[in-house]
Structures are given as C-alpha cells and as structure tokens.
C-alpha cells in the first residue's frame, strides 16, 4: 500500500473515499482548486460512465476525482467490486482513503452537531464502528491512506497539494497589479505598496507622454534614491508572505502597487517586483496594469 502519490498524467481518475468526518470535503476542495474535475457523492455504478466521459474528453477533463462514500447507502456496497473491475481495465485509476482515530472523529461530529450517516438510533461511536466494517476492504486496497487525526483543514489541504500537484506546478498564484490611487484601491488587494515616495516622471517633459512600460521611464524610476533599497527589502518581505500563504493553503493573492495615476511609477515598479518574485518556489507570478491608459 503506497503512502505517496505517483507522477500525474493525462486522463487520471482518483477515487476519494474513507471515514465520515476524516476530511473528504477538504480534500475535494483542494483538488478542485488545483484544477481537478471533482464529482461528489457519486454512486459506484456511475464510475464506469465517468471514466468513459473522461476518456472521450481527455483534453477537457485530464484529471477527475470522484468522492464515493457511505452516503450512497446500499449502492456503496458495490464499490470494491467496481474498483477491482476498473483497475483491470484502466492503469490510471487510484484510490485515496481518508482515515482518523475514533476519538478524533467523535470530537469532529460533536463540534458540528451532526449525526453520523450510519448512526441510526445509536451513538456516534456505533456509526463509526459500522462504517469501519463497511470500509475495511477499501482501506486495505487503497493506493494512498491519509490519516488526518493530527491535521487541521489547512494542513490537510496543503498535504493534498503536496501529493497531487503536477511536478513543477504552482501552489500559489500572485498577481502584481499596478494602479492609480486617484481611481481607488483595488478591492481584492491582499498587499498594497505605495510608490508615491519616488519622484514623479510626469514632471519630466520628455517622459510625461510615456508610461512605465517604456525603457526611459523605467530607467528613471529605478534610478531614484530609495528605489533599489525598497525593491530589495520589499521583495524579501513578500517572499516570506508568499511562503506563509502556501503553508496556510491560500491559493491566490494580489499585490497592488500604486502611484498617483497608475501610469509611470507603479507600472515600472510592479514590473520589476514581478520580475524579482518570478523565481519564488511554488508561485506563479503575473503582472497586470489596472489603470494604464485610463488617463
């Protein structure tokens, strides 16, 4: 039984199953955030049609995850047989089983004040015992078993990213966005940097009609006193923030870089910050200019 994921490939199907309360929803959300097509509470009998659809649309559905569990009632009993049949026919099928200790599962159910799906007229412990009996075969045959007893939701999501991200894929996307303060702060900004401490190229006759994308303006802005020191210091600070975002499984962030009109200083400095942050591990950086050309 494996405890690590193998390299991803086109047309992969992942079956996510396991104990109720062990984190299936968290895993499903993390996979969806990574671009997987996720189907929740799928009857086992629908796995073969799902495989057929993914095979026909491999380009559109390269990675599909199906959450299959005891919520399916009597239909769920067919999962071991269906899985065995699909393994014989398809190499890219894998099963992930989520587990946790009984004590942890009881605490989680008590925290959300919901009954266990197999509890009936008994206790939560009765429901957990019945579920373990039904899932014993699937746990034994799973490719990956994840014990979530010591994970919070963020740690579990991060673990899923570590297991199932494609090699070299980004765990976080950073947008470096230039803007003009006179048009208002970007509503979705996570971090804001103010470039109005630098001299404004607008007051240079030969630069006024140009923008921060032009070499002359970029050279002027970067040559100003304090510009290089700011870039060095701020880049290091943002790198620490981005590493923290990845640990907390924050998938997207916006670094807003502003000046008065969003034409000269912010454009040049946003581009330079984007260049310097380009090599942060696990982060994909894109640079955008919200107000360029607005004046």
- Binding residue numbers for ATP: 18-25
Query: Comparing C-alpha atoms, which of 43, 46, 53, 49 is closest to residue 17?
Result: 43
Q: Distance of CA 160 to CAs 1, 4, 67, Å?
A: 17, 10, 14
Q: Which two tokens stand for residue 16?
A: 């996510």
Eight-class DSSP state of 260? S
147 contacts 100 by C-beta, under 8 angstroms: yes
Q: Which two tokens stand for residue 18?
A: 């396991």
The whole-angstrom separation of Cα 55 and Cα 61 is 8
Residues annotated as binding site for GTP?
A: 69-72
Residues annotated as binding site?
A: 18-25, 69-72
Per-residue DSSP letters for 187-206?
TT-SEEEE-TTSPPGGGSTT
Rounded to the nearest 10°, the torsion over CA 214, 220, 223, 225 is -130
Query: Comparing C-alpha atoms, which of 195, 191, 288 is closest to residue 240?
Result: 191
The whole-angstrom separation of Cα 30 and Cα 52 is 24
């Amino acid at each position: 039984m494996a405890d690590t994921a193998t390299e991803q490939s086109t047309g992969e199907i992942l079956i996510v199953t396991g104990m109720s309360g062990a984190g299936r929803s968290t895993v499903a959300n993390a996979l969806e955030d990574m671009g997987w097509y996720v189907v929740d509470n799928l009857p086992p009998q629908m796995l073969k049609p799902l495989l057929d659809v993914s095979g026909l649309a491999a380009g559109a559905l390269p990675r599909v995850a199906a959450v299959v569990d005891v919520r399916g009632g009597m239909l769920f009993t067919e999962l071991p047989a269906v899985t065995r049949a699909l393994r014989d026919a398809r190499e890219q099928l894998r099963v992930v089983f989520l587990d946790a200790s009984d004590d942890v599962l009881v605490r989680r159910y008590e925290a959300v004040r919901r009954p266990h799906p197999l509890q009936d007229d008994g206790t939560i412990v009765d429901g957990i015992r019945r579920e373990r009996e039904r899932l014993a075969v699937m746990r034994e045959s799973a490719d990956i078993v994840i014990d979530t007893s010591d994970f919070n939701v963020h740690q579990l999501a991060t673990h899923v990213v570590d297991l199932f991200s494609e090699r070299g894929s980004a765990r976080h996307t950073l947008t470096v966005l230039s803007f003009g303060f006179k048009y208002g702060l970007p509503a979705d900004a996570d971090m804001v940097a103010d470039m109005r401490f630098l001299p404004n190229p607008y007051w240079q006759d030969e630069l006024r009609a140009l923008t921060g994308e032009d070499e002359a303006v970029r050279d002027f802005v970067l040559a100003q006193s304090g510009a290089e020191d700011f870039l060095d210091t701020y880049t290091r600070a943002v790198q620490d923030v981005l590493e923290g975002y990845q640990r907390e499984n924050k998938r997207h962030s916006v670094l807003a870089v502003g000046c008065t009109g969003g034409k000269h200083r912010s454009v040049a400095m946003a581009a330079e910050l984007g260049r310097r942050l380009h090599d942060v591990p696990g982060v994909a950086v894109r640079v955008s200019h919200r107000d360029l050309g607005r004046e």
